[in-house]
Amino acid sequence: MSTRCSIASTGWCSPAEKTCTLAHRAPPQAGRTSAPRRGGYELALARGARERGLPVLAICRGLQVSNIAFGGSLIVDIPTTADHRPVRGADQQLAARHPITLAEGSRLAALYGTRNRVVNTIHHQSIDVTAPGLHPVAWAPDGIVEAVEADDDWPFWAVQWHPEKMIAPDEAAEEMPLFAAFVSAARERAAEHPAAEKGTR
Query: Which residues have a catalytic role annotated?
Result: 60, 162, 164
Burial 140-170 (b: 16+ CB within 10 A, else e): beeebbbbbbbeeebbbbbbbbbbbbbeeee
The rounded distance, in Å, linking the Cα atoms of 140 and 147 is 10
Residue-wise DSSP of 56-120: EEEETHHHHHHHHHTT--EESSPPP-SS------HHHHHH-EEEEEEPTT-HHHHHHT-SEEEEE
From the CB of residue 54, how many other CB atoms can be counted at a distance below 10 Å?
A: 23
Is the sign of the CA dihedral 111, 116, 117, 121 positive or negative?
A: positive
8-state DSSP, 131: P
d(CA 85, CA 44): 31
By CB atoms closer than 10 A (0-12, 13-18, 19+), residue 186 is buried
Q: Do you know the residue count of the chain? A: 201
